[in-house]
Amino acid sequence: LTASYYHIVNHSATAVGAELTHSFSSNENSLTFGTQHTLDPLTVVKARFNNSGKASALLQHEWRPKSVWTISAEVDTKAIDKSSKVGIAVALKP
């Protein structure tokens, strides 16, 4: 079961959201807060944080129509001694 809320803060440049999820099989709840900001019409920055201590960020830029590159990172703030995750992706569409 999932409930979510999404709110545009200022004329499509910045938005915030929250998601609450309940898993009946494990009887666990998850709460995630996130935000996104449009730097320009082709570049978006996103960040999120959840109740299990994971924080992540993403930078996405459309360099050609329908073709984007993405850089993302995730860190577990409750296990800071473990290494974080970093990713780079390129999506090309004709």
Query: What domain count does the chain have?
Result: 1
Q: 61-66 contacts: CB < 8 A, separation 24 or more?
A: 66/93
Evaluate if residue 26 carries a pLDDT over 90. Answer: yes
pLDDT, position 94:
79
Query: Could you report the per-residue pLDDT of 27-44, keeping only the tens digit for each?
Result: 999 999 999 999 999 999
Residue 29 is predicted with a pLDDT of 95
Kindly state the percentage of the chain with pLDDT values over 70: 100
Q: Domain limits at 26? A: 2-91
The stretch 2-28 carries a mean pLDDT of: 93
Of 6-15, 35-44, 65-74, where does mean pLDDT reach its minimum? Answer: 6-15
Structure-block tokens of residue 48: 């999120």
